[in-house]
Copies of this chain bind each other. A is one copy, B any other.
Amino acid sequence: MGETVLVAGGSGYAGALAARILHRHPHFELAAVTSRSDVGVPLSDLYPHHRVPLVLEELDLDRHAQVDAAIVAYPHGAASPLVAQLRERGVRVIDLSADFRLRDRPTYDAWYGEHKAPELFGTGVYGLPERYRAQIAEADIVAGPGCFPTAALLGLAPLGGDGLVADVVIDAKTGVSGAGRAATQRTHFVSVDENVSPYGVAGHRHSPEIDQELRAYGIPVAATFVPHLVPLDQGELLSCYVTTTRRLSQQELLERYAAAYADEPFVELTDRPPGVRDVRETNLCRIHVHSEPRTGKVLVFAAIDNLWKGTSSQAVQSLNVMFGRPETEGLGPTASGLASRSQMPGASTGATR
């Protein structure tokens, strides 16, 4: 058996899924799953389909911090104090909240309120393995990216550098699980069913996170970002409309993406527009690009499962990196084999209706 891992906050969607993936992981050992709201409840009562035969426990650091690593699935603001305690005991942490994602303190405070472990602010490594693989391997705190930033960054990264990108509009469509397990009018079935609507129009807290990391990729823009709620449970599609400073041919575009992702096991380039169904319950990001002749714009469509690659399976991907395991271990299908034959020049994207 390999390193032991704690999941703290297992009654929510993200923590419960992390527990499931770890429970079936061939290397790591799921030591315990804690909960603040459902102590004593079998995880299989809340999530029968995960089939994790553990009972949710009350957090007891003396006992639970005897692990090699922890995945913390607490709400923003509540996570950082626990992360601090775990760090004091030498536990390496992957935090799924936003508490360690941002590098600008005022920006964090503006969106999430005053940071609760300021001494650690900014010490996390942004947990997107496709970019920060080397740093994650050494990290004590990994900040799991937001689901929207994950898809946005993977979709846009190959356009970074040499002043290519002038403007970005990101129109996101997300399933309801992204809003979490809390029962609200917004997540009520009747509110979502047969509906599509934008939200966070006046500003969404994933915006500064997207901008910060786009900048790291050499795309220093203020991206317009609007998420929309659609009637499905898991899945997220980002449609990115990019204005470039010079025209890219379809061929050039394809080559750029193929080069960027040639060795990435979890990025799948495809010659047809992706659907979120294509990546459901996988750690894959499926991407399609199109150079629009009429306008010169570059269109990028990126699909992920918001709970998997957008949150929990990406955390395990980082865990694999942190402990020197094969990056794909325990994470299901990879993109290999598909990437090679996808989006050959000349492939059509089809005009219909």
Contact = CB atoms under 8 A, between A and B. Distances in A.
Interface of A: 13, 42, 44-45, 48-49, 51, 53, 167, 169, 171, 173, 175-179, 181, 183-205, 207, 222, 224, 226-228, 230-235, 237, 239, 241, 243, 270, 272-282, 286, 288, 290, 292, 294-295, 297, 299, 301, 303, 333, 337-338, 341, 348-353
A196 B232 contact: yes
Given A173-B196, A183-B185, A239-B228, A190 B275 contact: no
A202 B295 contact: no
Most chain B C-beta atoms within 10 Å of own C-beta, residue among A184, A193, A230? A193
A189 B176 CA distance: 7
Contacts of A273: 197-199, 201
Given A231-B232, A239-B228, A273-B199, A190 B204 contact: no
A200 B51 contact: no
A181 B183 CA distance: 11
B205 A190 contact: no
A114 B233 CA distance: 40
A202 to B, nearest CB: 4
B297 A224 contact: yes
Contacts of A49: 277-280, 282
A283 B202 CA distance: 28
B204 A53 contact: no
16 contacts: A49-B280, A173-B196, A176-B189, A181-B185, A183-B184, A183-B188, A188-B189, A198-B237, A198-B273, A202-B349, A203-B351, A204-B352, A222-B295, A224-B241, A227-B353, A231-B232
Nearest to A274: B197
Contact of A197 (B186, B276, B338): B276
Most chain B C-beta atoms within 10 Å of own C-beta, residue among A167, A199, A222, A275? A275
A195 B44 contact: no
Given A239-B228, A278-B49, A294-B222, A193 B189 contact: yes
A150 to B, nearest CB: 15
A292 B349 CA distance: 32
Given A173-B228, A195-B277, 16 more contacts: A48-B278, A53-B337, A169-B297, A171-B239, A181-B185, A183-B184, A186-B352, A189-B233, A194-B233, A195-B276, A197-B303, A201-B273, A201-B288, A201-B299, A222-B294, A222-B295
B350 A199 contact: yes
A199 B352 contact: yes
